[in-house]
Amino acid sequence: MARIRPLVRWCSLSLAALIAACGGGGGGSSDASNPSNPNTPTTPTSVAVSFAAPEAENVYGVGTALSLSAQVTVNGAAAVDGTPVSFSASPGTFSASGTTRSGVATVAFSGTTPGRQQLSASVSVSSGSSAAATATATRIVYLRPAPAALEVLVPAYFHPSSGTEWARLASGAAANPAVKVTAIVNPNNGEFTAAEAAYASALGAFVSAGGKVVGYVYTGYGARSLAAVKANIDAYFALYGRNLISGIFLDEMSSDASKLSGYREIYAYIKAKGADLRVIGNPGMVPDTADYATVADVLVTFEARNTTYATYDPRTTPWLYTLANNRQSSLVHNTATCADMQKAVQSAASPLYNAGLVYMTDLQYDPVKDIGNPWESLPSYWTALLQTVGAVNQGRTPPAC
């Protein structure tokens, strides 16, 4: 105690002298504006937050485990460890909080709502009595339902007596039992009053080999009378039977919302004949409204050249990601080589394209001049197409062309 006495006597000065002699004011070590102490937070004049992950505009599967990461800076420097960051997603009910480490906060995210998702990261930083500085960042991603295996949908617009194409269809289906193959039969543009023996025989052989058949009916983009459409539908089941016909392909489907009521009636008419009958609608493009997904089990959202397919981007119509891939089809012509076909099949199977029923052919068609028929026979690489689809479904490298 004797050694303390001199210090006490020395500090028994005026209050001002005591403050000066004993190291300054009581706020010296916690002054928010003191830059000499790196562990002391500064008054936040600016706060910024940006997403580091996941990648913007990517497509992921519903339920996929993702990391949401946001980088936070305060006055241009990384936020101090422990700065809270709030994350959310819309639509949906996801919300979570994380704290920064080296300026980055990360939380786990597993989305359950398919379609376009807007992710948000928000931060609010304050110091002492100063007003809080806030910032929010957003990032768009897309979630799709769990995909089914690819199928092959063949516009089989060739007569059984004109060659060996129906035999090739059957042998291909038999040789690749793991790949679902559906053929669109098209006798006389879907208008007939009697069953042809050649068709009955060809369809029977194809179905016995494991294939499925849907009957072609054109709708004139909604302008054809419902009575005529229903009469064509009736003919398939009355003349060829449910044992051969397992659905209807509605060609020339409108994409106009004003035509929906007619297609709704056609869809109900088919389903009344059997709930398991598959209705495939072909607008040949993405319809103007998502309501078209309610009048068909499958929509052909792409029918065009391979060069156009290379730039196809369903993200411009986000509602397509609310549909499972087996509710969407791509029919791609002018796919010149086997290698081109394999690239197109792999694109179709990707999360971005989200296609389920596919067909690629090297036959040519010029839609501007209306020259050519891409569906008049099977592609030269028919066997390779089936093998490629099988390989992609199993996660294997496609066979060499």
pLDDT in tens, 138-153: 999 999 999 999 999 9
Of 69, 127, 132, 74, nearest in space to 99 by CA: 69
Distances (CA, A) of 138 to 69, 104, 155: 11, 15, 43
Average the pLDDT over 19-41 and give the result. Answer: 38
Asked if 181 and 169 touch (Cβ cutoff 8 Å), the reply is yes
* Residue-level pLDDT at 35: 39
Q: What pLDDT, on the 0 to 100 scale, is given for residue 131? A: 80
Q: Quick one: average pLDDT of 48-58?
A: 98
| Rounded Cα distance, 25 and 383, in Å | 86
Phi and psi, residue 158, nearest 5°: -135, 145
CA angle, residues 72, 137, 51, in degrees to nearest 5: 60
In this prediction, residue 59 carries a pLDDT of 98
In terms of Cα–Cα distance, which of 192, 194, 193 is closest to 216? 192
Give 378-387 pLDDT, tens digit per residue: 999 999 999 9
pLDDT in tens, 297-354: 999 999 999 999 999 999 999 999 999 999 999 999 999 999 999 999 999 999 999 9
Identify each DSSP E strand in 31-185 by its residue range. 47-53, 59-61, 66-74, 77-78, 84-90, 95-99, 104-109, 115-125, 133-144, 151-156, 181-185
First to last CA, the chain: 95
pTM, 2 dp: 0.87
Rg for the chain (alpha carbons), in Å?
A: 33
| Better-scored residue on pLDDT, 100 or 2 | 100
Give the Cβ contact number of residue 331 at 10 Å: 24
Check residue 41 and give its pLDDT.
Answer: 52
Amino acid at 317: T
**pLDDT at position 223 over 80:** yes
Residue 24's pLDDT is 38
The pLDDT confidence band at residue 129, using thresholds 50, 70 and 90, is low
Confidence band of 63 (pLDDT split at 50, 70, 90): very high
The phi and psi torsions of 173 (rounded to 5 degrees) equal -65, -40
pLDDT digits (tens, 9 = 90+) for 240-265: 999 999 999 999 999 999 999 999 99
Give the rounded percent of residues in the chain with a pLDDT score beyond 90.
86
